[in-house]
Structure 1
Amino acid sequence: MEISIQKAGSLKDLPDESELAFGTLFTDHMFNMDYDLDNGWHNPRIEPYGPITIDPSTMVLHYGQSIFEGLKAFKTPEGEIQLFRPEQNFTRFNQSAHRMCIPAFDEEFALRALKELLKIEKRWVPSAPGTSLYIRPTIIAMDPFLGVRASYTYRFFIILSPVGAYYKEGFNPVKIWVTEKYVRAVPGGVGEVKTAGNYAASLYAGEEAHHKGYTQVLWLDGVERKYVEEVGSMNIFFVIDDEIITPALSGSILSGITRDSVIEMAEKWGHPVTQRRISIDEVVEAHKAGKLQECFGSGTAAVISPVGQIKYKDKTLAIGDGKVGSWARKFFDAITDIQYGRTQDTEGWVHKVD
């Protein structure tokens, strides 16, 4: 398919890079593509960023058939634009589509469309330390219909947002709160899918965590309320007695691309990550025994987020004396050095935007 391009008549002023927040500003253009039963995915186009007009009965508003991805574009010291493992995002996007009864799309074409959009919007990729251009591919159900079934029509769009640090703490330890009352997902559900409803389900506990003075929620499994699953919008890692441990993918945990990168790097460095069930009681006991050396989250938005405190019931687990742990620092530096082109990509993870 050919991608049609309609340029914006006037361009927005670029923001002050030193004041970038996360997800508040958007670029001049977006990518759009449509699906219907007769034509499949068709009419790919880059056009001025603007509202999507929908009927009040549009199915996504009522039944939540919506999926999305998150990745970033980075500017190298030489001024080149590059992506970090974008093919993995589009593969996961199609996996989410399958689970949510959304028609599959051509992953290579989607990546080409993204690169075309980035070529047009390259002036928006910031160069200040720690900044990047956040990329949000999304698919929503578009049928104007009130009835529970999969939609027959869809909109695929990509929007871009220049961003700074995801957490106000930056690359400093955050505090997380373990909820026993609420659950994010259960096996057999859609916890491993990047669908809008998962995030809606997390909001109430997230608000409660914020009111208590914590940055994120640490979720336990939805069956026994015992085993650690995810933390907020990230996967979670523990370093216990020199062993790096992360919860095994169980069908209710999102398969993070940064998570996968951490695991692959650790294996390359000769320190494999153990992927298994880990209970919150095991974490508490490890802390009590002085063996809980580190805890950190991984995700596209923050890359690596060190955890300095975990609150569980009446226990407060202080980790690392409020300092960033050596493993968190090592993974953060290694991944961001590749992302920003400060070191050679020996893994084949980088895609240049020509």
Structure 2
Amino acid sequence: MIKRFNFQVHSFISQQHPRLWRISCSEGEKLYTTTMAGSCTGSFKAADLVIQLSSSPKIKPDVVDFGTVFTDHMLTVEWNANEGWQAPLIRAFRNLSLHPACSALHYGVQLFEGLMVYRGDDNRLRLFRPILNMNRMANSAERACLPAFDQSELLECIRRLIDIDQDWVPHSDSASLYIRPTFISTEPSLGVKKPTSALLYVILCQAGSYFNTEMRVLSLWADPKYTRAWKGGTGDCKMGGNYGGTLFAQYEAASYGCQQVLWLYGEDHQITEAGTMNIFLHWINDDGDEELATPPLDGIILPGITRQSILDLTKKWDEFKVSERYLTMGQLYSALKQQRLKEMFGSGTACSICPVGSIVYQGTNLQLPYQEKHSLSSRITTELADIQHGRSPSDWTYLV
């Protein structure tokens, strides 16, 4: 059944984000997204879900590389301007059939999300803060001019899909099942315009290690000649173009012996993201205070779910300063030189938390400090994993 709550709207969170409201409900205070005109109407309904089980289930292999082995079923929901949303359908995993002029292929009118389902020590399955993923997906859809939908209805459809393919969720702390909701324009005509048809679908895949490396820390290449996102763009949305456009720089980073790109922005070489991750610095700042800092959400930073969870968790500890503020390579270099840098790490859904061990910048290989057993990142990793696997009770988890 869909969870339903009595919501009470309190206020806008900010004038910069007028679609985000702070709302209280029986689960506590949460973020909830509405359309500009109010709550979403005309959405598909989970109650109308049609299920067609596969007649030939696959043999489940051992956990493999991230994103290469998919489960037996997928969720699809079609939309068109004349009839609106159609009934959601769970069916056997299969290829899609698209018109050659589909604007998702020609103009990148598409977006996606990423979240995990974890098998707990009690064998129950848990999603981690999925409401935040649904809200972010709705915001990305509005930016892409794709139709609105009810996030709670989509979440319930996803829950049903996971329930059907639950045997694919690994019995492991080091592996999980990755969920990839995807939303594409299926507009069958050339021309850059608002789509008249679209497809929302969800696929599941086994998720082992995201980075194909035995190293415990990442090496980054920082060069300001490439930019991941810019003010007024779509860097704060989870759209495919934000990622496909990074491949060239990624391969250049590899030629310098680095695994990922540290994306810089502006003349002062602001630190923004690392590969597909949000970035954090744990240091003693210029004022002499111990601080955990990450770049602010100013339009070029993706509002990561793990990022937000790290901020919420460490602020609750109240042991050091936690800030969202601009960070530059000059500040990082000074802190490293003066031995004020404790650690630098990236965060994301697929990778969780990844410490950074070195950065190639302006011809210099900067070696960053890292203590595997006593670092802040290892402490955060443990606490988040305990929540995700049900060892620590939390209203951040959603039982399947």
TM-score of Structure 1 vs Structure 2, range by shorter chain: over 0.9
The separation in 2 between residues aligned to 1:111 and 1:225, in whole angstroms, is 41
- The separation in 2 between residues aligned to 1:82 and 1:102, in whole angstroms, is 29
Matching residue of 2:380: 331
Following superposition, the deviation at residue 342 of structure 1 comes to 2.2
| TM-score, length basis structure 2 | 0.85
How far, CA to CA, are the matches of 2:263 and 2:208 in structure 1? 26
Deviations 1:226-262 (A, max 9, x none): 1111111010000121211111111111011100000
Indicate the residue corresponding to 1:193 in structure 2.
Answer: 237
User: Is the counterpart of residue 351 in structure 1 residue 398 in structure 2?
Assistant: yes
Which residue number corresponds to residue 195 of structure 2?
Answer: 151
Aligned to 1:316: 365
2:346 matches 1:300: no
Q: Given that residues 263 and 273 in structure 2 are in contact (C-alpha distance below 8 angstroms), is that contact kept between their aligned partners in structure 1?
A: yes
SS in 2 for 1:273: strand
Structure 1 position 272, deviation (Å): 3.9
Specify which structure has the bigger relative contact order, considering alpha-carbon pairs within 8 angstroms and separated by 6 or more residues: 1
1:133 positional shift: 0.1
Is there any run of 5+ residues in structure 1 with no aligned partner, and where?
A: none
Residue 243 (str. 1) matches residue 286 (str. 2): no
Superposition pairs for residues 131-142 of structure 1, below 5 Å?
Answer: 131-142=175-186
Contact 1:57 1:145 in 2 (8 A): yes
Give yes or no for contact 2:174–2:208 (8 Å, CA) kept in 1. Answer: yes
- Which amino acid counterpart does residue 9 of structure 1 have in structure 2? S
Q: Larger helix proportion, structure 1 or 2?
A: 1
Aligned to 1:264: 312
Q: Which amino acid aligns with 2:258?
A: Y
The structure-2 alpha-carbon separation of the partners of 1:91 and 1:170, relative to structure 1 and needing over 3 Å to count, comes to farther
* 1:199 CA drift (Å): 0.5
Which runs of 4 or more aligned residues in structure 1 lie more than 2 Å from their structure 2 counterparts after TM superposition? Answer: 168-171, 321-325
CA distance in 2, matches of 1:246, 1:159: 31
Measured after TM superposition, the shift of residue 81 of structure 1 is 0.8
Aligned residues: 348
What TM-score do you get using the length of structure 1 for normalisation? 0.95
Secondary structure of the structure 2 residue equivalent to 1:156? strand
Give the RMSD, CA atoms, in angstroms: 1.4
What stretches of structure 2 of length at least 5 have no aligned partner? Answer: 1-44, 285-289
Aligned to 2:274: 231
Distance in 2 between residues matched to 1:351 and 1:290, nearest whole Å: 42
Q: What are the residue-to-residue correspondences of 1:142-181 with 2, within 5 Å?
A: 142-169=186-213, 172-181=216-225
The Cα of 1:168 is off from its aligned counterpart by: 2.8
Q: Quote the Cα distance in structure 2 between the aligned partners of 1:170 and 1:193.
A: 31
Shift of 1:211: 2.2
Residues 78, 85 of structure 2: 8 Å contact kept: yes
Q: Distance in 2 between matches of 1:39 and 1:258?
A: 37
Equivalent residue for 1:291, pick from 332, 340, 348: 340
Residue 171 of structure 1: CA displacement? 8.0
Code of the residue aligned with 1:349 in structure 2: it is W
Write the distance in 2 (CA, Å) between the matches of 1:178 and 1:149. 36
Is 2:342–2:370's contact at 8 Å kept on the other side of the alignment?
no
Taking a change above 3 Å as real, the CA distance of residues 171 and 272 of structure 1, as seen in their structure-2 partners, is farther
Q: CA deviation at 1:225?
A: 5.6
Distance 1:284 1:350 in 2: 38
**Identity %, equivalent residues:** 38
C-alpha spacing 1:171/1:161, structure 2 compared with 1 (3 Å): farther
Q: CA deviation at 1:129?
A: 3.0
Return the offset for 1:153. 0.5
Q: Could you tell me which residue of structure 1 aligns to residue 162 of structure 2?
A: 118
1:276 paired residue among 311, 322, 325: 325
C-alpha displacement of 1:132 = 0.2
Query: Is residue 236–residue 246 contact of structure 1 (8 Å, CA) maintained in 2?
Result: yes
Q: 1:293 to 1:47 in 2, by over 3 A?
A: same
**Which residue in 2 is equivalent to 1:37?**
81
**2:231 maps to amino acid:** P
Residue identity in the other structure for 2:331 = E
Question: 1:183-210 deviations in whole A, cap 9, x for unaligned?
Answer: 0111001111100111011111111112
Give the SS at the match of 1:9. Answer: coil
**Separation in 1, partners of 2:291, 2:215:** 23
Decide which moves more: 178-187 or 152-161: 178-187
Aligned-pair CA distance for 1:41: 1.9
Amino acid across the alignment from 1:8: S
